[in-house]
Amino acid sequence: MVERSIPVGRRTINAVDPRGQGAVIRTRRRARPRLDAVTTYVALIEVHLDLRHAQSLKEKRNTVSSLKAQIRQRFVAAVAETEAHDDRRRATLLCALVGGPEVRERVAELERFVEARCPDGCRFVRDLRSLADIRA
């Protein structure tokens, strides 16, 4: 019985030739890592924005839509305006982030990012749940 490595694309397959004649009879599969060992988290961040500087609803919508686009692009987050659609002085956004244990760091970074872009002030309400908590 002869064992040899055969390059296939980016991987190498260990092949076993029981006759030793160069023909590949069967291949061994590598064990795949278990995906359920990684804990998945869902973070919901409610962002309450104070927009005292906005003189009209049009200016408010421009500011909010710009901030939503920046959050989506930078953090790959789902973002929606949920409250105070007709009040030009305030806005409430709901952001959702999904990932592993690094989600907490991404949430903190998102909060710093929003604080730097909102000179009139903002406050945050965050909720972090694991996938197991959601299913239970």
CATH 3.30.360.10 given to domain 41-135? no
Least confident of 5-14, 78-87, 98-107: 5-14
50-90 confidence digits (pLDDT tens): 888 888 888 888 888 899 999 999 988 899 988 877 788 88
The pLDDT assigned to 46 comes to: 94
- Going from N- to C-terminal start, the domains of the chain cover 2-32, 41-135
Contact 115, 123 (CB under 8 A): no
pLDDT attached to residue 1: 57
pLDDT number for residue 96: 93
Q: Count CB-CB contacts under 10 A for residue 97.
A: 22
At 32 the pLDDT is: 59
Taking only the tens place, the pLDDT of each residue in 104-122 is 899 999 998 988 888 778 8
Return the pLDDT at 90. 87
What's the pTM value of the predicted model, to 2 decimals? 0.65
Per-residue model confidence (pLDDT) at position 89 = 86
DSSP string computed for the chain: -EEEEEEETTEEEEEEETTSSS---EEPPPPPPPGGGSPPEEEEEEEEEE-TT--SHHHHHHHHHHHHHHHHHHH--EEEEEE-TT-TTEEEEEEEEEESTTHHHHHHHHHHHHHHH-TT-EEEEEEEEEHHHHH-
- 18-49 pLDDT, tens digit per residue, is 565 555 545 555 665 555 567 888 999 999 98
